[in-house]
Amino acid sequence: MRVTQRLRRPWWVALAVVLVAALALTTWVLVADPGADSPDGAAEQSRPGTQQAAPPAQPRPVPVTVVKIDNVAVARPQTGLDAADVVYVEPVEGGFTRLAAVYSSRVPDVAGPVRSARETDVELLAQYGRPALVFSGAAPEIEPALDGATAVLVRQRDHTAAFFRDPARPVPHNLYGRLPLLPGGSGPGPDRVLPRGPSPEGGTPVTEYPVDFARDEYLFTWSPQRRGWLAELDGTPLESAGSGPVAPATVVVQRVDLVEGAGVRDAAGTVSPVVRSTGTGPVTVLRDGNRFEGTWSRPDAADGTRFTTRQGDPLPLPDGPVWVLLVPR
């Protein structure tokens, strides 16, 4: 009877023994494998000597200069178009067009005739980071919009020594800029803003493609010898002074919406249109002697422009100069 009483223990003593054993086991598991309760890979990252994957390096900015160039008949042939990586054709008042030439891989000594900036340039050029925007001036109504742009504003009035006028042409179609003497800008290069790559399947062979604005009529003709699209405007070949006919490797016809801007008007009272270059819309891409129909997309002003086929496949551009025509839809 005495032996039985010695062996019998209160129930709470037995419970305490079990809890102590469970605590000891849990501690041993955590010490042996510190990542057991962590998300996948957390234990591996915490062990000494394990190298963590570095985030992908961002491409370095490259030099980018954009020049607003006159495009009426008296201003042609323009100078410096042959050196442009990208040329944007913008609708302006009266149904005419003006050019924004983007220089990155090489900068010509002279470009022009240089004309005024437009509201369209603010959103359009934001995808190039902080490019230098070379222009003759701007209407007072859009100065606040330009001051809020990401671009480095390079006006004639601030750098008079780097500009000159050609006496053989009438004012205001005779102003030229010596680009090496002007401030530069930088940002994503044209290959990042407009991705390049091999041609997708599904293109339609085409030898000519017309593009009509209200007053300007363009025609692009495929030249196998030039591996580019010979450009005409109103029946006259587009040329770059001293270099001959313009023949970009790619022509992008980007159909865009027009929005109400600051209400700038020309001498005839016509309102200057403002292109909305963000969002999405139809696009026609001419490359390698083929036409591709698809969609353009640019979610935000800081984003580059992407193209896809009607099937949703990427539609990159080939290497070489690109002309982008911003056609109102």
- pLDDT at residue 257, rounded to an integer: 97
Give a yes or no: residue 55 inside a domain: no
Give a yes or no: residue 85 inside a domain: yes
Per the document, the length of the chain is: 329
Same domain, 244 and 282: yes
pLDDT at 308 over 90: yes
Q: Is 123 helix (H, G, I), strand (E, B) or coil?
A: helix
Give a yes or no: residue 201 inside a domain: yes
Residue 157: give the domain boundaries. Answer: 62-328
The per-residue pLDDT for range 24-34, each reduced to its tens digit, is: 434 333 334 44
Q: Provide the token pair at 286.
A: 């001419």
Q: Which amino acid, one-letter code, is at 187?
A: G
Same domain, 267 and 232: yes
The per-residue pLDDT for range 71-108, each reduced to its tens digit, is: 999 999 999 999 999 999 999 988 999 999 999 999 99
Same domain, 119 and 224: yes
Same domain, 153 and 88: yes
Percent share of the chain, pLDDT over 90: 76
> Number of structural domains, the chain?
2
Same domain, 153 and 40: no
pTM over 0.75: yes
Same domain, 74 and 36: no
Give a yes or no: residue 97 inside a domain: yes
Give a yes or no: residue 200 inside a domain: yes
Same domain, 159 and 272: yes
Same domain, 214 and 178: yes
> What gap in Å lies between CA 253 and CA 215, rounded to an integer?
17
Same domain, 210 and 172: yes
The per-residue pLDDT for range 175-230, each reduced to its tens digit, is: 999 999 999 999 999 999 999 999 999 899 999 999 999 999 999 999 999 999 99
The per-residue pLDDT for range 246-260, each reduced to its tens digit, is: 999 999 999 999 998
In 227-305, DSSP assigns E strands to: 228-233, 236-237, 239-240, 244-245, 250-259, 274-276, 279-287, 290-298
CATH number at residue 168: 3.50.90.10
Give a yes or no: residue 228 inside a domain: yes
- pLDDT at residue 19, rounded to an integer: 40
Give a yes or no: residue 53 inside a domain: no
Alpha helices in the chain (DSSP H): 2-7, 11-32, 42-46, 120-125, 143-147, 190-193
Same domain, 93 and 30: no
Same domain, 31 and 72: no
Give a yes or no: residue 54 inside a domain: no
Same domain, 94 and 36: no
DSSP string of 71-107?
A: -SGGGPSBBSGGG-SEEEEEE-GGG-EEEEEEESS--
